[in-house]
Amino acid sequence: MAIVRFPALMKFYVDNQSEFSVTGSTVKELLDNLVVRYPTLKTHLFDSNGSLRRYFNIFVNGVHIRELNGMDSPLNENDKIILMASAAGG
Amino acid sequence: MLPELSREEILRYSRHLLIPEVGLEGQRKLKNSSALIVGTGGLGSPVALYLAAAGVGRIGLVDYDVVELSNLQRQVIHGTSTIGKLKVDSAKEKLQDLNPDIQIDIYNEPFTSANALRIAKDYDVLIDGTDNFPTRYLTNDVCVFLGKPNIYGSIFRFDGQLSVFYAKEGPCYRCLFPEPPPPGLIPSCAEGGVLGILPGTIGTLQATEALKVLLGIGEPMIGKLLLYNALDMSFDFVNLKKNPKCRVCGPNADIKELIDYEEFCGVPGHDHGVDGSAGAGLDIPALDLKNRLSPAGNSKLILLDVREPHELQISALPNAINIPLGQLAARLTELDSADDMVVFCKAGTRSARALELLVSAGFKKVKNLKGGINAWAMDVDQSLPIY
């Protein structure tokens, strides 16, 4: 299982956890499994076409999924996934 | 030709002169350099203090706010004695006391598309210490168009982000965030809170990056992003590359000049909330709610509080149902769509978002308490604190 890290802005939707394991052999599968576990996340993560919203970024082991294979990027055991949202506070 | 240091300056900066990476030449470079700090708040405070102390020869400060009591938990450049003063004046006073040998230029105006290029053009680096998305996109685009590094930091609760966006050598802010989140989705520090020390941590890192860039030493955070969490004391670094589809710095960029950033982001360029309004016909002012709740107001009215449970310890309205905004979608069955309902939060931003959700779920008789429980505390029940 990959380990997913959540930004403070989203912890709220995942029982206030900042990090936990989720199954999935690709980023898409992992997100689908995540949404099954926490349904309220769905509208925050995806738009009405099912695409990842553009103010979220996903990194696998420190590399943006744009540099990998996007949502089809493969995942291995213990990969570290970072979900990142923009924050404006200053 | 770099400027010479006076005897006093040599003594003042002696700890820098001892470091081979800085030395006399580096300190003269700093004296010859300039930094524009956009925002003199949580991040801007430590950035300005440390850059001034370090001897950056000219520091520009852009802010149009006045110092408020609720700023002082984190905005350490200001003080109790400067409450009510312009932030730029309060900051300049402190910086001149810290280092009278440098030049402080103040801009008591909002940073906008109309003035940003004029203000920024003569500075070597820009430091993004703003508190809202429109000014962050503006600061980014100004840096891209003028070819300057953007020392970026942002904060929320216990989380901080840091990077150096420099389109000449790496990605820009838009490469990472092509679009802002929809208005109201991401709470500001005014709405969601922030650990007072967090801007100190991130701001001093921004100041460090600014000095590295100005001195040309070390490895600035170009193409890298730091994600910091104070609770876990975790520092995660991720790599960033230019986005080939970036609309300002990509090969097919179509944004060639500054745009209307408030329109682009759908929110005003300041952190004072979206005035706590849900829009035309959907608001109820605090005084009207008071009348509706009075015995003469008769009809049954449900009060829905969408704040976090810990906020109820600060202030609360009797008989209100508490369902935090994040849980509302999953708990709609606890509510009756036929009821008359007034939704509220701290200042009206989260409740406006809740109202959208309720209306889309078929609730027809819902209103937003304009300005939230803080407006109620101001206009109706002065025994409640404003926070």
pLDDT at position B273, please? 45
> For this structure, is B175 an active site residue?
no
- Test mutation, A14, A51, A86, chain B, max B CBs within 10 A: A86
* Spatial CB neighbours of A15, under 8 Å, sequence gap ≥ 6: A38
For chain A, how many helices (H) and strands (E)?
A: 3, 5
Supply B93's token pair: 């006073």
Helices (H), B55-99: 87-98
Q: What pTM did the predictor assign? A: 0.89
pLDDT at B296: 67
Measured between beta carbons, the chain A residues lying within 8 angstroms of B324 are 12
The domain locations on chain B are 33-265, 283-379
| Residue B168: count of CB within 10 angstroms of its CB | 12
Shortest Cα–Cα distance, B327 to chain A (Å): 7
pLDDT at A32: 93
Q: Which residue of B has its CA nearest to A87?
A: B154
CATH of B33-265, picked from 3.40.50.720, 3.20.20.70, 2.60.40.1930, 3.30.360.10, is 3.40.50.720
Torsion angle of the four alpha carbons A27, A86, B310, B338, in this order, in degrees rounded to the nearest 10: -80
What's the whole-number average pLDDT of chain B? 94
Q: Which residues pair with B154 in a beta bridge?
A: B161
Look at residue B297 in the predicted model and tell me its pLDDT: 62
With cut-offs at 50, 70 and 90, classify the pLDDT of residue A81: very high
Least Cα distance to B303 among B340, B348, B278 occurs for B340
Q: What is the pLDDT of residue B268?
A: 74
For A62, which of B42, B129, B237 is closest by C-beta distance?
A: B237
Contacts of B39 in chain A (CB under 8 A): 90
Identify the weakest region by mean pLDDT among A68-72, A82-86, B197-201: A82-86
pLDDT band at B275 (very low <50, low <70, confident <90, very high): low
d(CA B172, CA B248): 8
Chain A neighbors of B194, CB-CB under 8 A: 89
Average pLDDT over residues B34-49: 98
Q: According to CATH, what is the number of the domain A2-85? A: 3.10.20.30
- Residue B264's Cβ-side half-sphere holds a number of Cα atoms within 13 Å equal to 20
Whether the predicted pLDDT of B28 surpasses 60 = yes
Cα-to-chain-centroid distance, residue B40: 10
Angle at B343 between CA B342 and CA B346, to 5 degrees: 130
Q: Specify the length of chain A in residues.
A: 90
Distance from CA of A78 to the nearest CA of B (A): 16
- Residue-level length of chain B: 387
Which of B129, B157, B236 minimises the CB distance to A8? B157
CA distance B310 to chain A (A): 13
Q: Do the chains contact at A88 and B176, CB–CB below 8 Å?
A: no
Q: Do B243 and A7 count as a contact with CB atoms less than 8 A apart?
A: no
**Residue B105 to residue B267: CA distance in whole angstroms:** 28
Q: Which CATH number fits domain B283-379: 3.40.250.10, 3.65.10.10, 3.40.1130.10, 3.10.450.50?
A: 3.40.250.10
Active-site residue among B189, B246, B249, B265?
Answer: B189
User: Does B274 have pLDDT greater than 60?
Assistant: no
B230, pLDDT greater than 70: yes
Chain B residues in contact with A84 by the CB 8 A cut-off are: 161, 227, 238
B345 is catalytic: yes
pLDDT confidence band for A43 (50 / 70 / 90): confident
Q: pLDDT tens digits, residue range B343-373?
A: 999 999 889 989 988 999 999 999 999 999 9
The CA-atom distances, in angstroms, between A6 and each of A17, A19, B231, B275 are 8, 6, 13, 29
d(CA B265, CA B279): 17
